[in-house]
A and B are shown apart, each in its own frame.
Chain A
Amino acid sequence: MNKEELKVRLEALLPSPTFEEGAEWTTAIVDPAGWEGVARHLRWDVGLEFDYLFCVTAIDWRTHFTMVYHLTSTLHRHTVIVKVKLDRDRPEIPTISAIWHTAEFHEREAFDLFGVVFTGHPDLRRLFMTDEWKGWPLRKDYEDPVNMIKL
Protein backbone atom coordinates (compact mmCIF):
# COMPACT_ATOMS: atom_id res chain seq x y z
CA MET A 1 0.00 0.00 0.00
CA ASN A 2 1.26 3.47 -0.69
CA LYS A 3 1.12 6.35 1.77
CA GLU A 4 -2.37 7.58 0.78
CA GLU A 5 -3.97 4.13 0.67
CA LEU A 6 -2.51 3.38 4.06
CA LYS A 7 -3.97 6.59 5.42
CA VAL A 8 -7.46 5.64 4.17
CA ARG A 9 -7.16 2.21 5.80
CA LEU A 10 -6.06 3.75 9.07
CA GLU A 11 -8.88 6.31 9.03
CA ALA A 12 -11.33 3.42 9.07
CA LEU A 13 -9.42 1.66 11.80
CA LEU A 14 -8.66 4.40 14.32
CA PRO A 15 -11.35 5.67 16.72
CA SER A 16 -10.26 9.31 16.25
CA PRO A 17 -7.98 9.47 13.24
CA THR A 18 -5.31 12.17 13.45
CA PHE A 19 -2.27 12.30 11.22
CA GLU A 20 0.98 14.19 11.13
CA GLU A 21 2.02 15.47 7.73
CA GLY A 22 5.41 16.09 6.21
CA ALA A 23 7.14 12.83 7.11
CA GLU A 24 8.42 10.19 4.75
CA TRP A 25 5.96 7.65 6.14
CA THR A 26 2.33 7.78 7.21
CA THR A 27 2.31 9.06 10.78
CA ALA A 28 -0.71 8.37 12.97
CA ILE A 29 -1.42 9.81 16.43
CA VAL A 30 -3.03 7.30 18.79
CA ASP A 31 -4.38 7.55 22.36
CA PRO A 32 -2.60 5.46 24.97
CA ALA A 33 -5.90 3.82 26.02
CA GLY A 34 -6.75 2.48 22.56
CA TRP A 35 -3.18 1.72 21.48
CA GLU A 36 -3.12 -2.00 22.27
CA GLY A 37 -6.26 -2.69 20.23
CA VAL A 38 -4.99 -0.60 17.32
CA ALA A 39 -1.69 -2.48 17.49
CA ARG A 40 -3.46 -5.84 17.18
CA HIS A 41 -5.28 -4.62 14.08
CA LEU A 42 -2.07 -3.30 12.56
CA ARG A 43 -0.36 -6.61 13.16
CA TRP A 44 -3.09 -9.03 11.99
CA ASP A 45 -5.56 -7.26 9.66
CA VAL A 46 -5.40 -8.59 6.11
CA GLY A 47 -3.68 -6.05 3.88
CA LEU A 48 -1.92 -4.29 6.77
CA GLU A 49 0.07 -7.09 8.43
CA PHE A 50 2.80 -5.00 10.02
CA ASP A 51 4.92 -7.95 11.09
CA TYR A 52 8.10 -6.08 11.98
CA LEU A 53 8.48 -3.48 14.75
CA PHE A 54 11.82 -1.94 13.91
CA CYS A 55 12.09 0.96 16.29
CA VAL A 56 10.64 2.07 19.63
CA THR A 57 11.53 5.57 20.78
CA ALA A 58 10.61 7.78 23.70
CA ILE A 59 10.88 11.58 23.49
CA ASP A 60 10.85 13.96 26.44
CA TRP A 61 9.21 17.25 25.40
CA ARG A 62 9.37 18.63 28.98
CA THR A 63 5.58 19.08 28.91
CA HIS A 64 4.80 15.49 27.92
CA PHE A 65 6.36 12.30 26.57
CA THR A 66 5.84 10.85 23.12
CA MET A 67 6.29 7.18 22.34
CA VAL A 68 7.13 6.55 18.69
CA TYR A 69 6.68 3.14 17.09
CA HIS A 70 8.03 2.36 13.63
CA LEU A 71 6.26 -0.58 12.02
CA THR A 72 6.87 -2.16 8.67
CA SER A 73 5.42 -5.09 6.76
CA THR A 74 7.79 -7.53 5.14
CA LEU A 75 4.83 -8.87 3.11
CA HIS A 76 3.51 -5.60 1.69
CA ARG A 77 6.60 -3.43 2.01
CA HIS A 78 4.78 -0.53 3.65
CA THR A 79 5.71 1.37 6.78
CA VAL A 80 3.77 3.33 9.37
CA ILE A 81 4.76 5.46 12.32
CA VAL A 82 2.53 5.52 15.40
CA LYS A 83 2.95 8.28 17.96
CA VAL A 84 1.39 8.11 21.40
CA LYS A 85 1.31 11.14 23.69
CA LEU A 86 1.88 10.37 27.36
CA ASP A 87 1.34 12.31 30.57
CA ARG A 88 4.63 13.72 31.99
CA ASP A 89 3.76 12.89 35.61
CA ARG A 90 2.25 9.45 35.01
CA PRO A 91 3.79 8.04 31.82
CA GLU A 92 1.88 4.80 31.41
CA ILE A 93 1.15 2.87 28.25
CA PRO A 94 0.06 -0.73 27.64
CA THR A 95 2.83 -3.06 26.48
CA ILE A 96 2.82 -4.44 22.95
CA SER A 97 5.41 -7.10 23.72
CA ALA A 98 2.82 -9.85 23.27
CA ILE A 99 2.21 -8.69 19.69
CA TRP A 100 5.78 -7.94 18.66
CA HIS A 101 8.14 -9.90 20.89
CA THR A 102 11.02 -7.53 20.10
CA ALA A 103 9.21 -4.82 22.04
CA GLU A 104 10.09 -6.60 25.27
CA PHE A 105 13.66 -5.30 25.06
CA HIS A 106 12.81 -1.98 23.43
CA GLU A 107 10.29 -1.19 26.13
CA ARG A 108 12.76 -2.11 28.83
CA GLU A 109 15.15 0.41 27.30
CA ALA A 110 12.52 3.16 27.29
CA PHE A 111 11.67 2.28 30.89
CA ASP A 112 15.32 2.27 31.90
CA LEU A 113 16.20 5.67 30.42
CA PHE A 114 12.89 7.58 30.49
CA GLY A 115 10.86 5.85 33.19
CA VAL A 116 7.94 5.08 30.89
CA VAL A 117 5.87 2.34 32.56
CA PHE A 118 4.61 -0.33 30.19
CA THR A 119 1.62 -1.93 31.89
CA GLY A 120 1.45 -5.68 31.42
CA HIS A 121 5.12 -6.02 30.47
CA PRO A 122 6.39 -9.46 31.59
CA ASP A 123 9.85 -8.31 32.77
CA LEU A 124 10.03 -4.57 33.27
CA ARG A 125 13.40 -3.89 34.93
CA ARG A 126 16.63 -2.01 34.27
CA LEU A 127 18.42 -2.85 31.03
CA PHE A 128 21.56 -0.68 30.64
CA MET A 129 21.72 0.95 34.03
CA THR A 130 22.61 -1.05 37.12
CA ASP A 131 19.72 -2.51 39.14
CA GLU A 132 20.26 -0.11 42.03
CA TRP A 133 20.32 3.02 39.82
CA LYS A 134 17.94 5.79 40.83
CA GLY A 135 16.30 8.11 38.33
CA TRP A 136 15.78 8.22 34.56
CA PRO A 137 18.94 9.52 32.89
CA LEU A 138 17.57 10.62 29.52
CA ARG A 139 14.85 12.83 30.97
CA LYS A 140 15.52 16.50 30.31
CA ASP A 141 15.31 17.41 33.99
CA TYR A 142 17.63 14.61 35.12
CA GLU A 143 20.24 15.68 37.67
CA ASP A 144 23.24 13.62 38.74
CA PRO A 145 25.80 15.67 40.69
CA VAL A 146 28.11 12.66 41.13
CA ASN A 147 28.60 11.58 37.51
CA MET A 148 27.53 14.61 35.55
CA ILE A 149 29.52 17.77 34.86
CA LYS A 150 27.06 20.49 33.86
CA LEU A 151 28.00 22.87 31.07
Chain B
Amino acid sequence: MDVVPQNMADKPFPGEVHPTAGGGILVTKLDEVINWARSNSLWPLVFGTSCCAIEMMSTAAAKYDWSRFGFEVARATPRQADVIIIAGTIVNKMAPVLKRLYDQMADPKYVIAMGACATSGGPFFYNTYSVVKGADHVIPVDVYVAGCPPRPEALLHALIALQKKIRDGVS
Protein backbone atom coordinates (compact mmCIF):
# COMPACT_ATOMS: atom_id res chain seq x y z
CA MET B 1 0.00 0.00 0.00
CA ASP B 2 1.25 3.47 -0.84
CA VAL B 3 2.15 5.53 2.14
CA VAL B 4 0.66 8.99 1.93
CA PRO B 5 3.09 11.26 3.73
CA GLN B 6 0.48 13.85 4.69
CA ASN B 7 -3.20 14.18 4.18
CA MET B 8 -3.08 16.67 1.34
CA ALA B 9 -0.09 15.22 -0.48
CA ASP B 10 -2.09 13.42 -3.15
CA LYS B 11 -4.13 16.47 -4.05
CA PRO B 12 -3.42 20.09 -3.15
CA PHE B 13 -6.13 22.73 -3.11
CA PRO B 14 -8.41 22.10 -6.12
CA GLY B 15 -8.09 24.89 -8.66
CA GLU B 16 -5.69 27.39 -10.11
CA VAL B 17 -4.72 30.82 -8.87
CA HIS B 18 -4.02 33.41 -11.57
CA PRO B 19 -2.10 36.26 -9.98
CA THR B 20 -3.35 39.76 -10.78
CA ALA B 21 -2.51 43.12 -9.41
CA GLY B 22 -3.54 43.30 -5.78
CA GLY B 23 -4.38 39.63 -5.38
CA GLY B 24 -5.44 36.87 -7.76
CA ILE B 25 -8.28 35.11 -9.46
CA LEU B 26 -9.16 31.58 -8.45
CA VAL B 27 -10.51 29.27 -11.12
CA THR B 28 -12.07 26.13 -9.71
CA LYS B 29 -15.22 24.05 -9.42
CA LEU B 30 -17.55 24.86 -6.56
CA ASP B 31 -18.23 21.17 -5.83
CA GLU B 32 -14.52 20.50 -5.42
CA VAL B 33 -14.00 23.45 -3.11
CA ILE B 34 -16.96 22.38 -0.98
CA ASN B 35 -15.64 18.83 -0.78
CA TRP B 36 -12.19 20.16 0.06
CA ALA B 37 -13.64 22.24 2.87
CA ARG B 38 -15.76 19.39 4.18
CA SER B 39 -12.85 16.98 4.17
CA ASN B 40 -10.80 19.28 6.37
CA SER B 41 -13.37 19.93 9.06
CA LEU B 42 -14.80 16.54 9.92
CA TRP B 43 -16.31 16.65 13.38
CA PRO B 44 -16.55 13.19 14.93
CA LEU B 45 -19.37 12.13 17.19
CA VAL B 46 -18.50 11.09 20.72
CA PHE B 47 -19.56 7.47 20.38
CA GLY B 48 -17.83 4.36 21.65
CA THR B 49 -19.27 1.03 22.71
CA SER B 50 -16.16 -0.85 23.85
CA CYS B 51 -12.37 -1.07 23.86
CA CYS B 52 -11.94 0.52 20.40
CA ALA B 53 -13.21 3.71 22.04
CA ILE B 54 -10.09 3.74 24.23
CA GLU B 55 -7.91 3.69 21.12
CA MET B 56 -10.13 6.38 19.61
CA MET B 57 -9.64 8.57 22.69
CA SER B 58 -5.92 7.91 22.44
CA THR B 59 -6.01 9.04 18.81
CA ALA B 60 -7.71 12.24 19.93
CA ALA B 61 -5.30 12.86 22.81
CA ALA B 62 -1.96 14.64 22.77
CA LYS B 63 0.32 11.90 21.48
CA TYR B 64 -1.52 11.10 18.22
CA ASP B 65 -3.62 14.26 18.13
CA TRP B 66 -6.08 13.82 15.28
CA SER B 67 -6.79 17.54 15.25
CA ARG B 68 -3.61 17.85 13.17
CA PHE B 69 -5.70 16.50 10.30
CA GLY B 70 -8.90 18.41 10.94
CA PHE B 71 -10.87 16.18 13.31
CA GLU B 72 -10.57 18.94 15.82
CA VAL B 73 -13.76 18.86 17.80
CA ALA B 74 -15.52 15.71 18.92
CA ARG B 75 -19.18 16.60 19.33
CA ALA B 76 -21.38 15.10 21.99
CA THR B 77 -24.52 15.57 19.92
CA PRO B 78 -25.22 13.94 16.54
CA ARG B 79 -26.77 17.19 15.28
CA GLN B 80 -23.35 18.85 15.20
CA ALA B 81 -21.29 15.85 14.05
CA ASP B 82 -20.20 14.94 10.52
CA VAL B 83 -18.62 11.55 11.04
CA ILE B 84 -19.53 8.71 13.37
CA ILE B 85 -16.73 6.33 14.29
CA ILE B 86 -18.31 3.05 15.34
CA ALA B 87 -15.75 2.26 17.99
CA GLY B 88 -16.80 -1.08 19.36
CA THR B 89 -19.22 -3.97 19.36
CA ILE B 90 -22.79 -3.29 18.26
CA VAL B 91 -25.27 -5.56 19.99
CA ASN B 92 -28.87 -6.12 18.97
CA LYS B 93 -30.10 -3.78 21.69
CA MET B 94 -27.66 -1.06 20.59
CA ALA B 95 -28.53 -1.29 16.88
CA PRO B 96 -31.68 0.90 17.03
CA VAL B 97 -29.76 3.48 19.06
CA LEU B 98 -26.99 3.58 16.46
CA LYS B 99 -29.59 3.95 13.71
CA ARG B 100 -31.27 6.81 15.53
CA LEU B 101 -27.95 8.61 16.10
CA TYR B 102 -27.12 8.24 12.42
CA ASP B 103 -30.55 9.54 11.42
CA GLN B 104 -30.13 12.55 13.70
CA MET B 105 -26.85 13.58 12.06
CA ALA B 106 -27.16 16.30 9.46
CA ASP B 107 -26.11 15.60 5.87
CA PRO B 108 -23.43 15.18 4.64
CA LYS B 109 -22.50 12.44 7.08
CA TYR B 110 -19.84 9.76 7.06
CA VAL B 111 -19.31 6.50 8.88
CA ILE B 112 -16.13 4.70 9.87
CA ALA B 113 -16.38 1.12 11.14
CA MET B 114 -13.48 0.82 13.56
CA GLY B 115 -12.16 -2.63 14.39
CA ALA B 116 -13.26 -6.22 13.92
CA CYS B 117 -16.55 -5.97 15.84
CA ALA B 118 -17.91 -3.03 13.88
CA THR B 119 -16.73 -4.55 10.61
CA SER B 120 -18.06 -8.10 10.96
CA GLY B 121 -18.81 -8.94 14.57
CA GLY B 122 -15.17 -9.99 14.89
CA PRO B 123 -14.53 -12.27 17.86
CA PHE B 124 -18.28 -12.44 18.41
CA PHE B 125 -19.11 -13.75 14.97
CA TYR B 126 -19.69 -17.35 16.04
CA ASN B 127 -21.90 -18.70 18.82
CA THR B 128 -23.20 -15.34 19.96
CA TYR B 129 -26.84 -14.51 20.52
CA SER B 130 -26.50 -10.75 20.98
CA VAL B 131 -23.99 -9.23 18.54
CA VAL B 132 -24.76 -7.61 15.18
CA LYS B 133 -22.44 -9.20 12.62
CA GLY B 134 -21.15 -5.93 11.22
CA ALA B 135 -22.46 -2.43 11.76
CA ASP B 136 -23.19 -2.17 8.02
CA HIS B 137 -26.31 -4.23 8.71
CA VAL B 138 -27.60 -1.09 10.45
CA ILE B 139 -26.07 1.95 8.70
CA PRO B 140 -23.93 2.40 5.57
CA VAL B 141 -20.17 2.45 6.16
CA ASP B 142 -17.58 4.48 4.22
CA VAL B 143 -14.32 3.18 5.64
CA TYR B 144 -13.51 -0.06 7.46
CA VAL B 145 -10.51 -0.39 9.78
CA ALA B 146 -9.02 -3.80 10.56
CA GLY B 147 -7.67 -4.57 14.01
CA CYS B 148 -8.78 -5.66 17.44
CA PRO B 149 -8.51 -2.90 18.45
CA PRO B 150 -6.77 -0.97 15.64
CA ARG B 151 -3.82 1.15 16.69
CA PRO B 152 -4.25 4.93 16.63
CA GLU B 153 -2.15 5.08 13.45
CA ALA B 154 -4.67 2.77 11.77
CA LEU B 155 -7.57 4.99 12.78
CA LEU B 156 -5.70 8.06 11.54
CA HIS B 157 -5.10 6.26 8.26
CA ALA B 158 -8.80 5.51 8.03
CA LEU B 159 -9.72 9.12 8.72
CA ILE B 160 -7.27 10.31 6.08
CA ALA B 161 -8.67 7.72 3.66
CA LEU B 162 -12.13 9.13 4.36
CA GLN B 163 -10.84 12.65 3.63
CA LYS B 164 -9.49 11.41 0.33
CA LYS B 165 -12.83 9.82 -0.55
CA ILE B 166 -14.63 13.07 0.22
CA ARG B 167 -12.17 15.16 -1.83
CA ASP B 168 -12.50 12.74 -4.74
CA GLY B 169 -16.24 13.20 -4.54
CA VAL B 170 -16.98 9.50 -4.05
CA SER B 171 -18.39 9.72 -0.56
Stretch at the interface among B67-75, B120-128, B153-161: B120-128
Q: Give A141 Cβ to nearest chain B Cβ, in Å.
A: 12
- Cβ of A130 and Cβ of B93 under 8 Å apart? yes
- Cβ of B127 and Cβ of A149 under 8 Å apart? yes
Q: Give B111 Cβ to nearest chain A Cβ, in Å.
A: 23
- Cβ of B127 and Cβ of A148 under 8 Å apart? yes
Residue of B whose beta carbon sits closest to that of A130? B93
Most buried by A among B126, B129, B130: B129
- Cβ of B125 and Cβ of A147 under 8 Å apart? no
Question: Whole-angstrom distance between the alpha carbons of A149 and B129 in the complex?
Answer: 9
* CB of B167 within 8 Å of the partner chain: no
Residue of B whose beta carbon sits closest to that of A113? B129
Question: Whole-angstrom distance between the alpha carbons of A130 and B96 in the complex?
Answer: 13
- Cβ of A144 and Cβ of B129 under 8 Å apart? yes
A residues touching B (Cβ–Cβ < 8 Å)? 128, 130, 137, 142, 144, 147-151
- Given A144-B129, A147-B128, 13 extra CB contacts under 8 A: A128-B93, A130-B93, A147-B129, A147-B130, A148-B127, A148-B129, A149-B125, A149-B127, A149-B128, A149-B133, A150-B126, A150-B127, A151-B126
22 A-B pairs whose Cβ atoms sit less than 8 Å apart in the complex: A128-B93, A130-B93, A137-B129, A137-B130, A142-B129, A144-B129, A147-B92, A147-B128, A147-B129, A147-B130, A148-B127, A148-B128, A148-B129, A149-B125, A149-B126, A149-B127, A149-B128, A149-B133, A150-B126, A150-B127, A151-B126, A151-B127
